[in-house]
Structure 1
Amino acid sequence: MPTTDGRVLALDLGTSSARALVLSADDAAPVPGALARHRISPTYGAGGSATLDLHAYVEGLLGCLDELQQNGHLVDITAIVLSTQWHSIVALGTKGEPLTPVITWADTRSVDPVLGKDFDEHAYHARTGAWLHRLYWPRRIPWLRKEVAATAFAGLPDLVLERLTGERVTSVSVASGTGSLDLATGRYDEEALAIAGASAGELPAIVPTGWTAALSAEYARRWPGLVGVPIHPPTGDGAASNVGTGGYDETTAAVTVGTSAAVRVVHPIDNAPELPWELWRYRVDDERAVTGMAFSAAGNLHAWLTSVLKLDKDQQEPTGVEIGSSHVVAIPFHAGTRPPATVPSASGVYFGLSFDDTGADLLAASLQGASLEIDRGLRMLDSLFGRELEVVLGGGGIDASAWWRRCLTATFARPTTVCAEAEVGARGAAAVALGLSPEPGGESLKPVPEEAARVAELRPRYEKLRALAVEASAI
């Protein structure tokens, strides 16, 4: 049953920031002023490394709790929930000590897997929802064993949970993001473990959604208001964002646009539709999965272009350019593509440039290209679930650009609803833990017929030019 008394402390473990905020327990709405943030700066290095300092990260997060405590916000807390980045990994020694920094999803280091002749990658993908890609643990663990004498492995949320409770465990949601989970059983996949060269005992134990723990004794004096408060298992940020945006069942696709973008549908794990090769699937909790597609270029594309073109604040919306305008077409492969596609980074292309084009034309083409990429994923999900899905929009990119909201709505050629809440990850983690069903609460948009018609006319040309860009990326 939903919990409606008290307040919820949400910890959001992002790649660019760690945040702690307080939410109301009845609708998971943020309590005004009850937010503390610790900025995170990933370290990028030669050879494709992209890491986080584990000690600095955890201490920064604990400092956020100190700030909330000092400002009187850690009172009447009845639950602690976590939303977290997926895919991170840390190699651990014999005493559980970290031997490496946090290896993030953006790190490109791994080794090629050693596979038997009877390996069926399509069956593997159908079972785990993942591919044998460097993003996932079956290719990370063999590489880490070559680098350090590791005896165990854990993700960032697992180690944060251990720091707070003394128990190193993980959730079915976080475990699914390792690419090592049998989605149907909720246990580590035997073939994935064999490819990784690891045993289930070397990975964090998977606890059920209803599991809770309490804050360890060392923090009782530091945060007395949290003593005895149940701490719930973490939810992967993609699943949490979907639920927090308002896309929590199979009738609705949630499109989130932040640094990157994704389109996803939450649905029951039982009798789930057969997973297409192009889509991934992770778990939300014991009963639900989330199926979708992610895109590497979104808000980062907008930030890069406005910086390169030195656009003033009032020029960062291409308001004078028609949605669906086709004289400039952008293929947004600047950061490459996510698996299973293999387009590398530095593959972005602009077609049709002339001396008449302005910064606004380039910006509009970029946002239109990103919208068409997201639309590809949405159409696959429509087909998978056998209906034209309702769409909710959320994330910083959605909030920042009215033009982009209209462009997405026209590209999808269907009404959309905008999520009014910015903290969708924290909101979703609270909803999963407490059994809530949040509504988007924002404006409703309808496609402008003329704009939708122009995008429909543009789409075949875009697809042809996209195919050329894919071909060129292999040269």
Structure 2
Amino acid sequence: MPKTDQRILALDLGTSSARALVLTADASPVPGALARHKISPAYGAAGEATLDLHGYVEGLLGCLDELQQNGHLTGISDIVLSSQWHSIVALDGSGEPLTPVIPWVDTQTVPLSLDSSFDEHAFHARTGAWLHRLYWTRRIPWLASIVPAASYAGLPDLVLERLTGERVTSVSIASGTGTLDLASGRYDEEALAVAGVTEKHLPPIVPTGWTSSLSPEYARRWPGLVGVPVHPPTGDGAASNVGTGAHDESTAAVTVGTSAAVRVVHPIEGAPELPWELWRYRVDDKRAVTGMAFSAAGNLHAWLTDVLRLEGEHREPVGVEVGSTRVIAIPFQAGTRPPETVPSASGVYFGLSFDDTGADLLAASLQGASLEIDRGLRMLDSLFGHQLEVVLGGGGIDASAWWRRCLTATFARSTTACSEPEVGARGAAAVALGLFPTPGGETSAPHKDDLDRVAELRPRYQTLRALAVQASHELPHNAELP
């Protein structure tokens, strides 16, 4: 079969859905060749968030069954995976799960007792992570206080093991645990000591070029996939950047889904010194991704339109100009990501009056989220020494033309929209197979009047944001560990 006729099977392991889809040889989705399993995390009042591992994996396998039933699992040349970062499962001595999947949104933790000589700034520069509950340096001590585990693994590691029989991880997924020495691509000794484990308790790290194949059980179940190489998973943030077409240090990708992020992919060799405010993970053996993430984005839009019962055209801020609303929204409903320690339930609206409408509140919220993302973009501009080009991607971008215009004005530069919605799957294929996708969408320049209004709004937002941060730490109901 000619290479151009070959197809790629991509598995995308998200927090709200697990998907299996088929891509062409250049990583474009094959029309109709997508199956989705909805994921519903379970939440608790003490900050718990869990995913049912068995249900998750069986749902994903069902997606493959659906693709086969519809004739889409033929001519597959490669199997690639994109996965959420930061998940963890505690395992017993036989490799059986002792806990559900703990995803990034879980806020449970325990305090650490560290030697006074510990230098978190040096640790952050080396691992790209902080000692935050998001990472295994904090997750493992918390889990160890609950269950006597023999080892730990992430969701993508266990999915890969289920498919191939081999429990390994990639340098990209390992970097999201906060236990990787970014420069060497090996587990960091100090991070392991903080977590209270050794390398033998964690999945071995395999190089980007490693492949395996389906176990005999699944080779019988999906005959068209017999002998097809299965590639190591790529963290969803890294995959999304590459999938939008932002695969070098000239371009930042802004992706807006449930949460949001701004990131730049660059070589790990000679990487600029990492500022304290930014994180850094690995894309593959040769590249890293540096950026900032934000907890309020598409979830903010979905929440507010539901609360205000905004439907149809009113799911956009109809009649409100970008930057014009007098209401200032600080989008801390889900708190902030590290190194800031603003807890959840800290969202604030300033300047409300009786003549404000649902459209005003929605515009203020989207504007606030845009200004948050802009903080990260400007830090990346400074880090890489030039104004970065910007590619916009993700479901939130696709859903709101007003938000795209708002982001473009807030960034004060032209932006290019990625025309492909499945950027994670596309990026996983690109990383595994050495492809370089392009955005493919329209480029928009900021409107002058929008620029002027946002420039006037910005200092007010920054002042009120500082007040919201201060208040979040002074209110007693928000007293939680970072």
Kindly provide the CA deviation profile for residues 426-464 of structure 1, in whole angstroms up to 9, marking residues without a partner as x: 000000001011001011100001111110111111111
Deviates more, 1:31-40 or 1:306-315: 306-315
Q: Does the 8 Å CA contact 2:260/2:296 hold for their aligned counterparts?
A: yes
Kindly provide the CA deviation profile for residues 43-96 of structure 1, in whole angstroms up to 9, marking residues without a partner as x: 112422101111111111111101111110000000000000000000111111
Q: Distance in 1 between matches of 2:241 and 2:395?
A: 14
* Equivalent residue number for residue 190 of structure 2: 191
Q: What TM-score, normalized to structure 2?
A: 0.97
Deviation at 1:345, TM superposition (A): 1.1
* Equivalent residue number for residue 169 of structure 1: 168
Q: Distance in 1 between matches of 2:73 and 2:27?
A: 16
Q: Does the 8 Å CA contact 2:250/2:389 hold for their aligned counterparts?
A: yes
Q: Distance in 1 between matches of 2:427 and 2:4?
A: 15
Question: Is the counterpart of residue 142 in structure 1 residue 128 in structure 2?
Answer: no
Question: Is the counterpart of residue 338 in structure 1 residue 334 in structure 2?
Answer: no
Deviation at 1:222, TM superposition (A): 0.7
| % identical equivalent positions | 80
Q: Does the 8 Å CA contact 1:5/1:78 hold for their aligned counterparts?
A: no
Q: Does the 8 Å CA contact 1:131/1:339 hold for their aligned counterparts?
A: yes
* Equivalent residue number for residue 22 of structure 1: 22
RMSD between superposed Cα atoms in Å: 0.9
Q: Does the 8 Å CA contact 2:261/2:373 hold for their aligned counterparts?
A: yes
AA aligned to 1:384 is: L
Q: Does the 8 Å CA contact 1:317/1:360 hold for their aligned counterparts?
A: yes
Q: Does the 8 Å CA contact 1:209/1:233 hold for their aligned counterparts?
A: yes
Q: Does the 8 Å CA contact 1:87/1:177 hold for their aligned counterparts?
A: yes
* Equivalent residue number for residue 86 of structure 2: 87
* Equivalent residue number for residue 423 of structure 2: 424
Runs of 4 or more, structure 1, over 6 Å off, are none
Kindly provide the CA deviation profile for residues 2-27 of structure 1, in whole angstroms up to 9, marking residues without a partner as x: x75510000000111110000001x2
Q: Distance in 1 between matches of 2:270 and 2:113?
A: 32
Q: Distance in 2 between matches of 1:219 and 1:268?
A: 37
Q: Does the 8 Å CA contact 2:251/2:391 hold for their aligned counterparts?
A: yes
* Equivalent residue number for residue 294 of structure 1: 293
Q: Distance in 2 between matches of 1:162 and 1:197?
A: 24
Q: Distance in 2 between matches of 1:23 and 1:187?
A: 32
* Equivalent residue number for residue 278 of structure 1: 277
* Equivalent residue number for residue 6 of structure 1: 6
* Equivalent residue number for residue 228 of structure 1: 227
AA aligned to 1:12 is: D
Structure-to-structure mapping, 1:258-273, within 5 angstroms: 258-273=257-272
Deviation at 1:172, TM superposition (A): 0.2
Q: Distance in 2 between matches of 1:100 and 1:240?
A: 27
Deviation at 1:279, TM superposition (A): 0.4
Structure-to-structure mapping, 1:328-367, within 5 angstroms: 328-367=327-366
Structure-to-structure mapping, 1:148-167, within 5 angstroms: 148-167=147-166
AA aligned to 1:14 is: G
Question: Is the counterpart of residue 31 in structure 1 residue 30 in structure 2?
Answer: yes
* Equivalent residue number for residue 406 of structure 2: 407
Deviation at 1:472, TM superposition (A): 1.2
Q: Distance in 2 between matches of 1:147 and 1:401?
A: 43
Structure-to-structure mapping, 1:58-73, within 5 angstroms: 58-73=57-72
* Equivalent residue number for residue 115 of structure 2: 116
Q: Distance in 1 between matches of 2:5 and 2:267?
A: 28
Deviation at 1:311, TM superposition (A): 1.2
* Equivalent residue number for residue 479 of structure 2: none
* Equivalent residue number for residue 179 of structure 1: 178
AA aligned to 1:311 is: L
AA aligned to 2:387 is: E
Q: Distance in 1 between matches of 2:248 and 2:54?
A: 37
Question: Is the partner of 1:81 in helix, strand or coil?
Answer: strand
Deviation at 1:114, TM superposition (A): 2.1
Q: Distance in 2 between matches of 1:265 and 1:461?
A: 28
Q: Distance in 2 between matches of 1:365 and 1:210?
A: 46
Q: Does the 8 Å CA contact 2:325/2:360 hold for their aligned counterparts?
A: no
Q: Does the 8 Å CA contact 2:342/2:472 hold for their aligned counterparts?
A: yes
Deviation at 1:471, TM superposition (A): 1.2
Q: Does the 8 Å CA contact 1:247/1:254 hold for their aligned counterparts?
A: yes
Deviates more, 1:251-260 or 1:4-13: 4-13
* Equivalent residue number for residue 372 of structure 1: 371
Kindly provide the CA deviation profile for residues 291-344 of structure 1, in whole angstroms up to 9, marking residues without a partner as x: 000001111111111111111222111130111114111111111110000111
Kindly tell me the number of residue pairs found equivalent between the two proteins.
Answer: 472
Q: Distance in 1 between matches of 2:405 and 2:430?
A: 28
Q: Does the 8 Å CA contact 2:325/2:363 hold for their aligned counterparts?
A: no
Q: Distance in 2 between matches of 1:340 and 1:356?
A: 37
* Equivalent residue number for residue 434 of structure 1: 433
Q: Distance in 2 between matches of 1:209 and 1:304?
A: 39
Q: What TM-score, normalized to structure 1?
A: 0.98
Structure 2 residues without counterparts, runs of 5 or longer: 475-482
* Equivalent residue number for residue 243 of structure 1: 242
* Equivalent residue number for residue 445 of structure 2: 446
Q: Distance in 1 between matches of 2:207 and 2:186?
A: 11
AA aligned to 1:190 is: E
Deviation at 1:352, TM superposition (A): 1.3
AA aligned to 2:120 is: E
Deviates more, 1:138-147 or 1:62-71: 138-147
Question: Is the counterpart of residue 53 in structure 1 residue 52 in structure 2?
Answer: yes
* Equivalent residue number for residue 308 of structure 2: 309
